[in-house]
Structure 1
Amino acid sequence: MKILLIGEYSRLHNSLKEGLIALGHDVILLSSGDYFKKFDTDYSFHSSFTSGHWLPRKIKNIIHKLTGIDLSKAERGLRFYLLLPKLKNFDHVQLINSDAIETFPFLSRLLYKKLFKKIKNRSLLICGDETPVIDYLLKKETDYCILTPYFENNSLKNHFEYPLKYAAKNYRRTFDWLSENCRNLITSDLDYKIPMDKMNYKTHFIPNPVNSNKIKFQDQEINEKIVIFLGINRSSYIKKGIPYFEKALRIIQEKYPEKVTVIITENIPYSDYINRYNTAQIVLDQIYAIDQGYNALEAMAKGKVVFTGGGNDFIDHYNLKERVNIHATPNIDSLVNEISFLIENPEAIVVIGNRARAFIEREHDHINIASQYLAAWK
């Protein structure tokens, strides 16, 4: 098959591409590279002019402030349009989400319609914020979720501009059109499967693909100090519960000044990010999650002890008898207690890290996952 993958936010599509190629398929990936993360892509619709040069960026910011219009979205839409003549003879196309082109919703629909005239078999991946997911979270039926800080303090609304946009009329219209014109809806983890089920959407649940061949397992050598890593993305700082980690780390550093080293990074490219935590035994990923996001999975593949989603729904789904990560909740005392246990019992770091790697190889192997995608597409 000749397959087109559109959009990339986490390396999910890159890993899926590698699995599909290993199975003998021809795959092309289009994306913006996702800003500072700079993910690999075959063709790019990155807004390099309005984002990469001082004067256009300054003009863009002024226009956005005065009118609310984001010229970067217009540039991405234009660049995608210019790529359309190259997108021929594909057997299947998959979108990373309904905003895969990262342009204005009306322009997205226009571009999707042009693309879909050429490609009849299509799928829509739900692996992040999406209209039915946000609709479900806004019902407040869970103990906590990524919108909890917004529910608790409406003044934080600006921090939730990205997820809340999917509840707006124009984005909702795009999702509804895609759900009618894509053969398959696919969810990548339980944080999206459960809301989609609750909102009565039928989806294929296929776990995130991880190419363990590219991720070297690291035996967790415990030296005099335990290294703890926290990578911050400012755009999702509140949404991922980073303030809880920061407060817990301050307590840990006061409690164990001679036993821990803390590494904190902010808004760095993906290639730098994955290298920065190589020396860490513990990685703090996110609060408010049921399942693991992509950064957490890659850290687990390296044998790190990752604080992320790992509660009862996750344990039950994968029938786990022992912990493969640490379930991070919006509770500072719980976080401090869990980190303290690992510092005082470093042998647990080795054991959980080994389990984490085995779990990734068993449940997230990129070639096996690629086979599941092929089955769903057919």
Structure 2
Amino acid sequence: MKILLVGEYSRLHNSLKEGLEKLNHDITIVAAYDGFKKYDVDLLIKKKYRRGIKKKVKNLLYRLTGFDLESYNVIQQIQQLESQLRGYDIVQFINETPFGCSAEIETKIFDFISSRNNNTYLLSCGTDYISVNYANGKNLRYSILTPYKNGKDKTNLFAYGLKFLKPEFKALHYHIYNKINGVIASDMDYHLPLQNHPKYLGLIPNPINIDNLKFEELKIKDKIIIFHGINIQNYYKKGNDIFEDALGIIKQKYSDKIKVITVRNLPYSEYIKAYNQSQILLDQIYAYDQGYNALEAMAKGKVVFTGAEKEWLNHYNVKEDTIVINALPNAASIVEKLEWLIKNPSKIIEISKNARQFIEEHHHYVTSAKNYLNIWGTNNKL
């Protein structure tokens, strides 16, 4: 089949493409780069107004007229690719706004691409109307909106996806859902809000290309190395402030037993290299399941502090803190679990092996590709 994957977050569509190609399908990705993370893209949509004088001109024009120069430029590029964006058997959008444009332009992009192809699907991956609306309610013990609701983060509200609650993005959501064959969740954080929705087709765990991620059995020599990668834009949303508070305590108590590596805003290829020497990786806090950074680190045998709540434990029928470490929004809890690992290094080795095995069983990119093909095949419109 010819399959068009629209948008890219955290290498999900690249890994899915690699799995589908193993099954002899013809795959094309059309996307802009995911922020500073330059994943491979077949048809690259360039964001030309992200920095410097062009960004200032764009912002000024938007404030004065409401005209979004970046969005207009994006749809122009897509329209110029018209001959390369038609005739696909399957189209999958990674999100309701895969290009980060205005609601009006995202609507036009969706219609432009979907109308030229057969069978359009949507991933719930990254914030969207349903996930943000669910998090904004009283359904969860904590959510990605917790730092915002607590008043902790007042500088970067864009990161919380609050735009999806605005009328124009709500309208975009309903417009897309009226036209798609169905929606697929990429992990538990998106599965929970979609349960019982008539368009929901189920959860397919994020695909991980384990062939590209070599597992090496951990060896602890002089010190345990703890890695903390920070994306400044999502600093509070990911709970990096809590991790840093916990690390401050741990460094004081165990300076002779640990080494901490902290990096900021590294491109994907450099990020992967930076954590290679570590045994423990601090990923994110306000989550119920693992995101892409966590899963890839698990594939390489790292002990990852991330989302692993009881909903995830029940879904996979696993025990707490045996595959990953559930990172709660509490520095004292993070300290307690780090201390447990520092005092019991054999647990680090054990969890490392379990993590790799879990990825092989539940996130293998070829198995994931087969699951997508099964859902697409079952729900195709004749």
TM norm structure 2: 0.94
Residues 99-158 of structure 1: CA distance to partner in whole angstroms, max 9, x if unpaired?
012222111111221222211201000012110111111112211111011112187274
- Quick one: distance in 2 between partners of 1:266 and 1:340? 25
Residues 285-309 of structure 1: CA distance to partner in whole angstroms, max 9, x if unpaired?
0001111001100000000000001
Query: 1:51 and 2:11 equivalent?
Result: no
What is aligned with 2:112?
114
Aligned length, in residue pairs: 376
Correspondence 1:1-378 to 2 at 5 A: 1-47=1-47, 49-51=48-50, 54-64=52-62, 70-153=68-151, 156=154, 158-160=156-158, 162-197=160-195, 202-321=200-319, 323-378=322-377
More helix by share: 1
| DSSP-derived class of the 1:175 partner | helix
- Quick one: distance in 2 between partners of 1:114 and 1:141? 36
Shift of 1:60: 2.9
**Overall identity of the aligned pairs, in %:** 42
- Quick one: distance in 1 between partners of 2:274 and 2:150? 33
Change (3 A) 1:223 1:73: farther
Shift of 1:372: 0.5
| DSSP-derived class of the 2:227 partner | strand
Change (3 A) 1:244 1:198: farther
Change (3 A) 1:65 1:117: closer
- Quick one: distance in 2 between partners of 1:72 and 1:278? 37
| DSSP-derived class of the 2:49 partner | helix
- Quick one: distance in 2 between partners of 1:267 and 1:154? 21
Shift of 1:65: 5.9
Change (3 A) 1:154 1:201: farther
Report if aligned partners of 1:150, 1:160 keep a CA contact under 8 Å in 2. no
Instruction: Give, as a single letter, the amino acid of the residue that structure 1 aligns with 2:21.
Output: I
Shift of 1:70: 4.6
Worse-superposed segment, 300-309 or 199-208: 199-208
- Quick one: distance in 2 between partners of 1:332 and 1:50? 38
Shift of 1:75: 2.3
- Quick one: distance in 2 between partners of 1:71 and 1:163? 21
Instruction: Give, as a single letter, the amino acid of the residue that structure 2 aligns with 1:19.
Output: G
Instruction: Give, as a single letter, the amino acid of the residue that structure 2 aligns with 1:12.
Output: L
Shift of 1:68: 6.3
| DSSP-derived class of the 2:221 partner | coil
Report if aligned partners of 1:124, 1:185 keep a CA contact under 8 Å in 2. yes
Shift of 1:160: 4.4
Residues 266-320 of structure 1: CA distance to partner in whole angstroms, max 9, x if unpaired?
1111111111100110000000111100110000000000000112111110011
Aligned Cα RMSD in Å? Answer: 1.8
* Structure 1 residues not aligned, in runs of 5+: none
